[in-house]
Structure 1
Amino acid sequence: MERTYIDLASNPIASPTKIKILEAAIELFSKRGFSGASVRDITNEVGIKESSLYKHFKNKDEILETIFAFFRKEADKILPPMEHLDFIAEKMNLVEFLERGMQNFKRHLDDEINQKIWRIMYIELFRHPMAKDIYRNGIVKRTVDCLEVVFAKMIERGKMVTRDPKRLAIEYQYPLYPIIVEYNLLMSEGKSTEEIDAQVIEHIRYFADQCGVTS
């Protein structure tokens, strides 16, 4: 899959060597954690001298921050743009909206590089401020905010029960986070996610039965 990595100034990375360093670091950090992989480990993986790495990155921390910058950009693609939410609330029913959202999220998770960075995120979540910010604000808060807006618009259109849309967003989204962790674990072990997929569908249908309004 073709992807565009970005540097810390959000500029596309064109250097093939710099991309190889990033992808080697992603592989190693996802298996050993940031502290368990040295600069030498990364350069050995790429097949370059340590001095060559420092032409592209100041240090190992900058490599990790560049990985997180790329991941923030990828996470932004999961949700629809805010300017599309009115159209979505008008054209889709609740089940269609939730199923489409889960399909987008699965497409994101099924990408091999994204899977590995999710594992790095979990490892670094309680240590690195960028990991905390991406997870707390870029993923959890952004998702709840998006759901809240769509749910409010669907309530206005009589497609959902009249309840606090933020509370509905939290009730829908928060039970999915442990399921997402389990999905990532199964994917990393090369195991079937069929049972997890069924749980997600069941969650969507249950939520829609409780909170949706059929015309």
Structure 2
Amino acid sequence: MAGDTKERILETALELFAQNGYLGTSMNDIAQQLGFTKAALYKHYTSKQEILDRIVEHMNEMDYERAESYEMPETEPDGFAEAYLNTPIQKIRAYSMAQFDHWTKEPFSSNFRKMLTLEQYRDPKLAQLHHDYLAGGPLEYMAAIFRKLTDTDEAAMQLALEFYGPMYLLYSVYDGAQDKDSVAPLLDAHIERFIAKVESCYRKDRETI
């Protein structure tokens, strides 16, 4: 029961953070939303920072479990590029679409994204989290993968931008769309075209060796 209560606190706090911002939400706000006294809330979490830290830990746990469930290659840049391209295209597409669903449809992750979007210009620590989870982090990760397939760091970064840029944009498109089901096919078509392009270029490079 204690574990269930702690999880409910995290979910409720994150809903408030997504609506009002992390900085705009107090421990008293969280307690009131839960129907707790502040004293009862403090028995489970001693501060708002502790709640945020546990939210980030939970996000990391979800990321690991999702990658493992889709049987994606190990995410080490030195060996990932070739393994990624040797993974069946349907698996790559399915995992990429799962990532998009994770950030848009899954309530916990979606609220985390919205919180970071709200706070990225107001708090340096939350700005860093936005960078790590949604902006520079994914971009740098993809560039590290594509460095195995390109001649220069600049070319690798261009590929990363080409792949991730539309995905990042579609998060906002999804949030504002009246017909949210119309967004996923756009992403699916983008991923399919991109993977086909990269596979073609990779095979040509291998043939010239």
Instruction: Report the TM-score, using the length of structure 1 for normalisation.
Output: 0.69
Q: CA RMSD in A?
A: 3.3
Q: Counterpart of 2:22 in structure 1: which amino acid?
A: F
Counterpart check, 1:176 vs 2:167? yes
Counterpart check, 1:134 vs 2:129? yes
Counterpart check, 1:57 vs 2:45? yes
Instruction: Report the TM-score, using the length of structure 2 for normalisation.
Output: 0.71
**Identical pairs, percent:** 22
Partner of 2:157: 166
Equivalent pair of 1:21/1:46 in contact (CA under 8 Å): yes
Question: How many residue pairs get matched?
Answer: 190
Equivalent pair of 2:134/2:168 in contact (CA under 8 Å): no
Equivalent pair of 1:30/1:119 in contact (CA under 8 Å): yes
Counterpart check, 1:125 vs 2:128? no
Partner of 2:206: none
Equivalent pair of 1:29/1:37 in contact (CA under 8 Å): yes
Partner of 1:143: 138
Deviation (angstroms), 1:98 = 5.3
Deviation (angstroms), 1:213 = 1.3
CA spacing shift, 1:211–1:17, aligned 2, 3 Å: closer
CA spacing shift, 1:78–1:16, aligned 2, 3 Å: closer
1:96-135 to 2 correspondences below 5 Å: 96=90, 99-109=93-103, 110-135=105-130
Q: Counterpart of 2:31 in structure 1: which amino acid?
A: T
Deviation (angstroms), 1:202 = 3.5
Deviation (angstroms), 1:50 = 0.9
Equivalent pair of 2:9/2:34 in contact (CA under 8 Å): yes
Partners in 2 of 1:20 and 1:67 — Cα distance?
11
1:1-150 to 2 correspondences below 5 Å: 15-75=3-63, 80=72, 81-83=74-76, 85=80, 86-92=82-88, 96=90, 99-109=93-103, 110-150=105-145
Partners in 2 of 1:77 and 1:16 — Cα distance?
20
Query: CA deviation digits over 1:108-145, x for unaligned, max 9?
Result: 13212111221111111122333222221344344234
CA spacing shift, 1:120–1:75, aligned 2, 3 Å: farther
Equivalent pair of 1:25/1:42 in contact (CA under 8 Å): yes
